[in-house]
Chain A
Amino acid sequence: MSGRRPPRWARRIVEAVVGGPHREWILGDLEEMYAARRGNGPPTWATLVYLGWGLGSGAGAAWRSVGAGARGDVGSALRQLRSRPRVYLAGSVVLASGLGVAVFVWGIHHGTFGLGLPVSEPDRMMALRRVEPRGGGVHDHFSRQDLERLRDAPGLRGMALWGARTITLVDGSGPPVRAETLQASPAVFELLEARAHLGRLLLPSDADPESPRVAVLEHGFWERRYEADPGILGRTVRVDGLPTEIVGVLTPGRTLLSGRQFEQIYLPLGERDDRDARSYRLLARAAPGLGPEEVSARLAGMGGRLDPAVGLRAVPFAHSFGSWSEDAYGRVLSLTGALLFLLAVANVSNLFLVRATTRSREMAVRQALGAGRLRILRQLAFEAAVPALLGIVGGALVAGLALDWYQAAEELYVGGQLAPWREYRLGIPHLWLLAAGAVASTIAVSLVAGVVELRRGSAEALRGGRGATTRFRLGRGLVAVEMAVGGALLLLTALTVRSGWNLHTVDWGFTREGIVTGRVVLGASGYETDEERIAFWRTLEEEVAGAPGIGSVSLSTQLPMIRYGGPTWEESRRIEIEGLSVPLGVPELPVHYVNAVSPGFFETFQSPLAAGRGFTGADRAGTEPVAVVNADFRERYFAGSSPLGRRIRIWLEGEAGPWRTVVGVAPHLWMDSDENRRPEGVYVPLAQAAPREASFAVRAADDGPGLPALLRETVEGLDPGLPVTDLMTMSEVIRLRTRLYRQDAPLFISLGLTAFLLALAGTWVVVSYLASRRAPELAIRAALGAGRGELVRRSALSTFPPVLAGAGGGMILGLIMVRGFERHIFQVDPWSPAMVAATFLLLVAASLGAGLLPALRAARVDLRRVLGDAG
């Protein structure tokens, strides 16, 4: 029945506002009414009605609890709303959009980066990090020995090591597969309060070398792979070739580490595993009442147990998944939300400033009739609060519906594979915080404007005197703030648009249509010698090439746009160029990508060499070692001369390979994937490298569904224990690799445009306001012979200084935010002066344009009417 319940975000809102002694009954009634209304129809209308009744219930209780005086003020405020609906509704809409967008963006941020663990006290879960001496950086790699040394660390109530790796699973339930495993010390299950759905969880004794190898399955994997077979317990499968017994299945709906960590199988970590390998991360539960700072303080000096001068730091576990770039992007997202809210508040403040001006006479009359200042100010506060409250309700609706939409869009985007814990929730604390800020700021601005009017005194106001310099300054200051915020977000939008354009027009340097790719890993056991591996790859290539309909085939350790291997792999490939590299030792040699490819590689990708020749069947083990460098490598190291005939040497894990003669120059083929920061690279013949894993690329007349099956069968025919993974077309590869650039682009473009429009609206309001204040001056100037052009210029340029200052500040703010944004824009220089200048000019020109309309109106002044009004 949970599908018949209102969306969680709506429930959170209603549960937050409904209070009193009958709360539980009211909430129950509201849900029952929702379920009855929803029937089989679309849920949106039922949700809106549910929200309406819920908010009404909350408001009803609040109404009953306020005094008669306040009710009178609310009534007066509602009358104002009816008499000037456009002003108040405009304020409400602007506030609703700013607040809604801020809560929405923070909801995305929380769902993406602020993931908590599903345990009873998630705040106590910490990740430990090593702080290396002498600026060596912060790492989270620990060994089993490190865990033993830290066992009695103060401030902690339990620790566990964990690491993720991919294994080959052979289980008789289909072809062999590559599966994601979480290998962890068995204490992790207790730390994370995990329970078994079937069988049992891992025990400390499971990690003993004498014990049989056992594994526990993640519930979803058990359902998909084994069709929820309850007889799975006791079945023996092969994990990387080793017999392993399945002893349990985890409870549904959760995995152990609720980050962006896919877990399918859990394996014990213990005595069997290398004691010194720093390949794991350390999870710890803090003692009750201790936060990361307190735990870090207690761990001071403990790092010395691991290595001299090493420090230890505790961070919230939820934050430990994000890389620097993700953290920074998260900060940009949060800041964007906050800025949009600020922009909306600035806009509404402007509206209230203008509104206060138009009511100066009314206030003066009331004061003259005996109303006290406090009474008038209280009424102003209520009048400001009403649109603020409407804006809050609207904002909650905007945020809730937008988060629903975003979650649905992402689920659609990833094909329903969204992890169960990844939920974009409406943050009620955020909503309350912003609501309080919105109410407080609108009331404060309204009161400031009111106080200014009251200080002028009734006589002056009734005479029509002008002198509200405070409001002039405030209004201009708000324009500067709006321009700064709008400018910063517009700059991010411009970068996103440019990124999208680049993605649309990029030359990939190869023909992607008609190519299917896949990867084969020879596994931890078997194929021990170079000859065995070379023979396997050669046979595989020949078998696939011999199948009907196949145009060309290639095998390579890397594919264009895909980088296999982590930092360790990258660090191990250092290139020495004969006659060029300064002999400072291996650590000083440059690191570049090396791709071992079969002879058909460049032909399969239809990417002809720029110079020299590619590899042939004659380039095999025992013949002269050769290499092909790419065009970027040539540019960097051989600018102005030909690299052909020159020699290079590849260092692998501190050992020098043979000198290789450069025989060709390949085009740029995205060796550094989509990031393309280090595009220089080297190709070597596959037969001279004998890798343990390789990807194939097959060009066929028909790349339909039959081709993947053919490739699987071919590999299975050669070795039934080998899985084929990552089977996809080259177009899919590119779509996957560029997903990051497209995923949030619509979000940032719409946020930036919203900010832009709000900033322009702010300028429009302030120019209108200033023009109305200067009407007598303009009328006198007109009477004295000033032309219409001059009057327009005087009005339109009244906000020029704050626009310039604000737009300049916005560019600086934007450039600061860009730091967290770089990874999300494709092939764009975020620091490009041209881009910044264009954005700045667009912003200034548009804001001047926005002020033009009220300026034109102000220039049509009639001296008699204006002076008559004033008098």
Chain B
Amino acid sequence: MASGRLGELEQLLLMALLRLDGEASGIDLRQELDARAGRSVLPGAVYTVMERMVDRGLATSFTGDATPERGGRRRKYYRMTPDGERALAASYRQVRRLAEGLGERLGRLAEEG
């Protein structure tokens, strides 16, 4: 059972993983984060955070095949676990509760920002 709350990058990465059907490689996660959230992070940060979540039981990992595009190296894939889904849902609930009634103001702030 996972314990503790999710950090900001953990939330974003789990969200990206969910968008990618619960299974994605490190580079896919990074690209999704960049494309959807406009958040550009170093490849090393993705792996550091994802491995921490693997240790906490929020995700599992496995390696793919080596490809020429990667200079003969293999990809590392992550899959969300039920604990990961629960942690993300809990985190999302928190944010949603906190944002209740703020929809209009937050929308305005987002447009201004």
Instruction: Assign chain B's interface to a size class.
Output: 10 to 19
Q: Give A461 Cβ to nearest chain B Cβ, in Å.
A: 43
Q: Mark B46-70, 1 if CB is under 8 A from A, else 0.
A: 0110010000000000000001111
Contacts of B73 in A (CB 8 A): 24-25, 27-28, 31
- B39, CB-defined interface residue at 8 Å: no
Given A56-B42, A60-B45, CB of A29 within 8 Å of CB of B69: no
Instruction: Find out whether the CB atom of A26 lies under 8 angstroms from the CB atom of B44.
Output: yes
- For A57, give its contact among B27, B42, B70, B76 (CB under 8 Å): B42
Q: What 1/0 flags go to B22-46 for Cβ under 8 Å of A?
A: 0000110010000000000011110
Residues of B within 8 A of A31 (CB): 69-71, 73
7 additional A-B pairs beyond A57-B42, A57-B43, beta carbons within 8 Å, are A22-B47, A28-B74, A28-B75, A29-B30, A31-B70, A31-B73, A33-B27
- Nearest B-chain residue to A19, judged by Cβ: B44
Q: How far is the CA of A505 from the CA of B55 in the complex (A)?
A: 76
B-contact bits for A6-35, CB 8 A (1 contact / 0 none): 000001000000101110111111111101
The answer to whether A29 and B51 touch (CB under 8 A), given A57-B43, A60-B42, A61-B44, is no
Can you report 21 residue pairs joining A to B where beta carbons are below 8 Å apart?
A4-B69, A11-B71, A24-B74, A25-B26, A25-B43, A25-B76, A26-B43, A26-B44, A28-B27, A28-B71, A28-B73, A28-B75, A29-B27, A29-B30, A29-B43, A31-B69, A31-B71, A31-B73, A32-B27, A60-B42, A64-B48
Cβ–Cβ < 8 Å partners of B75 in chain A: 25, 28
A57 to B44, CA, bound (A): 6
Given A22-B47, A29-B27, the answer on whether A53 and B42 have CB atoms closer than 8 Å is: yes
Alpha-carbon distance between A15 and B75 when the two chains are bound, in angstroms? 17
Q: Does A40 contact B (CB under 8 A)?
A: no
- Minimal Cβ-Cβ distance residue in B for A27: B73
Q: Which chain B residues border A30 with CB–CB below 8 Å?
A: 43
Which of A20, A21, A28 lies in contact with B70, CB distance below 8 A? A28
* Residue in B27, B30, B51, B71 whose Cβ sees the most chain A Cβ within 10 Å: B71
Q: How far is the CB of B27 from chain A (nearest CB, A)?
A: 4
A25 and B47 contact, CB distance less than 8 A: yes
- Please measure, in the bound complex, the distance between the C-alpha atom of A60 and the C-alpha atom of B67, giving whole angstroms: 26
* In contact, A35 and B69 (Cβ under 8 angstroms): yes
Interface residues of B (CB under 8 A from A): 26-27, 30, 42-45, 47-48, 51, 67-71, 73-76
Q: Assess A32 versus B51: contact at CB under 8 Å? Given A25-B43, A53-B43, A61-B44.
A: no
Q: Which of A4, A5, A18, A28 has the most CB of B within 10 A?
A: A28
Top 4 closest pairs, chain A to chain B, by CB: A28-B73, A1-B68, A28-B70, A22-B47
Contacting residues, chain A, for B44 (C-beta < 8 A): 18, 20, 22, 26, 57, 60-61
Q: State in angstroms the CA–CA spacing of A69 and B71 once bound together.
A: 38
A61 to B67, CA, bound (A): 26
Q: How far is the CA of A21 from the CA of B76 in the complex (A)?
A: 13
Q: Which residues of A contact B (CB under 8 A)?
A: 1-2, 4-5, 11, 18, 20-22, 24-33, 35-36, 53, 56-57, 60-61, 64
Cβ-defined contact, B71 with A5, below 8 A: yes
Question: When chains A and B are docked, how far (Å) is the Cα of A24 from the Cα of B64?
Answer: 13
Residues of B within 8 A of A56 (CB): 42
Give Cα distance in the complex from A64 to B47, angstroms: 14
- Nearest A-chain residue to B68, judged by Cβ: A1
A32-B70 contact given A25-B26, A25-B47, CB 8 Å threshold: yes
Expressed in whole angstroms, the minimum distance between the Cβ of B41 and any Cβ of chain A is 9
- Complex CA gap A32/B47 in Å reads 16
Q: For B48, what are the chain A residues with a Cβ–Cβ distance below 8 Å?
A: 22, 64
Q: In the complex the two chains form, what is the Cα distance from A28 to B68 in whole Å?
A: 10
- B17 to A: closest C-beta gap in Å: 16
- Please name the residue on chain A nearest to B75 by beta carbon: A28
B69 touches A1 (CB 8 A): yes
**Cα–Cα distance between A36 and B44 once the two chains are bound (Å):** 19
A605 to chain B, nearest CB (A): 57
Chain B residue at smallest Cβ distance from A22 = B47
Contact among B42, B45, B71 for A27, CB-based, below 8 A:
B71
A53 contacts which chain B residues (CB < 8 A)?
42-43
CB distance from A748 to the nearest CB of B (A): 36
B56 to chain A minimum Cβ distance, whole angstroms, is: 17
Instruction: Please give, as numbers and ranges, the residues of chain A lying within 8 Å of B42 by CB-CB distance.
Output: 53, 56-57, 60
Chain B's closest residue to A64 (CB) is B48
Chain B residues positioned under 8 Å from A28 (CB to CB):
27, 70-71, 73-75
By CB atoms of chain B within 10 A, which of A1, A4, A22 has the most? A22
Most buried by A among B30, B47, B67: B47
Contact B68 A26 (CB under 8 A): no
Chain B residue contacts of A33, Cβ below 8 A:
27
Give the residue name and chain of the B residue nearest to A4 (CB). B69
CA A62 to CA B16, docked complex, whole Å: 27
A822 to B48, CA, bound (A): 57
Residues of B within 8 Å of A4, CB to CB, are 68-69
Q: Give the distance in Å from the alpha carbon of A56 to the alpha carbon of B74 in the complex.
A: 22
| Across-interface contacts of B70 in A (CB, < 8 A) | 27-29, 31-32
- Please give, as numbers and ranges, the residues of chain B lying within 8 Å of A2 by CB-CB distance: 68
C-alpha gap A4/B51 in the complex (Å): 29
Residue in chain B with minimal CB distance to A18:
B44
Name the residue on A nearest B73 (C-beta): A28
A25 to B46, CA, bound (A): 10
B residues less than 8 Å from A29 (CB atoms): 26-27, 30, 43, 70
**Nearest-CB distance from B39 to chain A (Å)?**
15
Could you tell me the distance between the alpha carbons of A5 and B43 in the complex, rounded to whole angstroms? 18
Chain B residues within 8 Å of A24, by CB = 73-74
CA distance A61 to B27 in the complex (A): 18
In the bound complex, residues from chain A placing their C-beta under 8 Å from that of B30 are 29
B67, B73, B74 — which one has the most chain A CB atoms within 10 A of its CB? B73
Per the bound structure, the CA–CA distance linking A80 and B43 in Å amounts to 29
Q: Note all chain B residues with C-beta closer than 8 A to A27.
A: 70-71, 73
- Residues of chain B within 8 A of A21, CB atoms compared: 51
B76 cross-chain contacts in A, Cβ below 8 A:
25
**In the complex, chain A residues whose CB is within 8 Å of the CB of B67:** 32
Give the distance to chain B from A121, nearest Cβ to Cβ, in Å. Answer: 24
Taking a contact as CB atoms closer than 8 A, the residue among B27, B51, B68, B71 that contacts A22 in the complex is B51
CA distance A11 to B43 in the complex (A): 16
Report A5 CB to chain B, min CB distance, Å: 6
Instruction: Indicate if the CB atoms of A32 and B26 lie closer than 8 Å.
Output: no
**Bound complex: CA A31 to CA B68 (Å):** 9
Contacts of A64 in B (CB 8 A): 48
User: How many Å from the CB of B65 to the closest CB on chain A?
Assistant: 11
A600 shortest CB reach to chain B, Å: 61
**Cα-based distance from A801 to B52 in the complex (angstroms):** 64
A4 CA to B42 CA, complexed, in Å: 22
CB distance from A81 to the nearest CB of B (A): 21
> Closest residue to A60 on the B side, CB-wise?
B42
> From B69, which residue of chain A is reached at the shortest CB distance?
A35
Please measure, in the bound complex, the distance between the C-alpha atom of A53 and the C-alpha atom of B46, giving whole angstroms: 13
Closest A residue by C-beta to B67: A32
Q: Which residue of chain B is the closest to A61 with respect to CB atoms?
A: B44
Whether A26 and B47, one on each chain, are in contact in the complex, defined by CB atoms closer than 8 angstroms, is yes
Interchain nearest-CB distance for A268 vs B (Å)? 38
Closest to A36 in B: B69
Contacts of A5 in B (CB 8 A): 71
Provide the residues of chain B in CB contact with A61, threshold 8 Å.
Answer: 44
Give, as a whole number of angstroms, the nearest-CB distance from A69 to chain B: 22
What's the nearest-Cβ distance from chain B to residue A548, in Å? 57
With A25-B26, A57-B43 as contacts: A32 and B68 at CB distance below 8 Å = no
Return A729 CB to nearest CB of chain B, in Å: 45
A22 to B68, CA, bound (A): 19
In the bound complex, what is the Cα–Cα distance between A56 and B45 (angstroms)? 11
